A and B are shown apart, each in its own frame.
Chain A
Amino acid sequence: DAGVIQSPRHEVTEMGQEVTLRCKPISGHNSLFWYRQTMMRGLELLIYFNNNVPIDDSGMPEDRFSAKMPNASFSTLKIQPSEPRDSAVYFCASSKDTQYFGPGTRLTVL
């Protein structure tokens, strides 16, 4: 199994630009999670889906952030417009009963 796949692995963009992060969960997993990790705040859950349906988005910082899961094998996290304080590592994880993390996307907003 390839594990959770995320792309891109690194993203550098300028303030105000739209950023789209992508995730392919492990086949057969029915839950998908988006996390953000920073030195100051640690690992924070942004949103999670169960069977492609958003269950809890209370961790999404503001309206600039949106996430979709159009099917069981793909999810996106979009930031529009991006700001320097969005710079972080964004992890996608999937689970059937145990969460497995993808390699992460390191986002830098200049």
Chain B
Amino acid sequence: QKEVEQNSGPLSVPEGAIASLNCTYSDRVSQSFFWYRQYSGKSPELIMSIYSNGDKEDGRFTAQLNKASQYVSLLIRDSQPSDSATYLCAGPVTPYNTDKLIFGTGTRLQVFP
């Protein structure tokens, strides 16, 4: 199993819908996670971090962490065409040290009008 695994997509959703992006991780990855958004030709940008089991909401974004299932997700409510990008999930290898991150290969999201 890859250490951090994502479906490459593309995930296509209509404008206004909820986009659900998922990520699974191996035992080697410590259990805090980061979601980065990367527009085509641009650099990754941090949009959410989650450190404990459960949900964390920030505007239209909700991150969900399920440690028992080794699963983390990002929900985007009221999706907009401007949300179209690749979303990268990342987790640190070492507990309590978020310096060394392992990234998934990303899920490409397409929001169509």
Contacts and interface: CB of A to CB of B under 8 A. Distances in A.
- Chain A interface main SS type: strand
Interface residues of B, number: 16
Contacts, number: 39
B83 to A, nearest CB: 19
Contact of A103 (B42, B49, B106): B42
Interface residues of A, number: 21
Contacts of A25: none
A43 B43 contact: no
B88 A43 contact: yes
- Chain B interface main SS type: strand
Interface in B28-46: 42-46
Interface stretch (B12-20, B53-61, B70-78, B97-105): B97-105
B43 A91 contact: yes
Contacts of A33: 99
Interface in B66-88: 88
B43 A45 contact: no
B63 to A, nearest CB: 15
Interface of A: 31, 33, 41-45, 48, 50, 55-56, 91, 95, 97-104
Interface of B: 42-46, 49, 88, 98-106
Given A43-B105, A99-B101, A103-B42, 13 more contacts: A33-B99, A42-B88, A42-B103, A42-B105, A42-B106, A43-B44, A43-B103, A43-B106, A45-B100, A45-B102, A55-B99, A91-B44, A103-B43
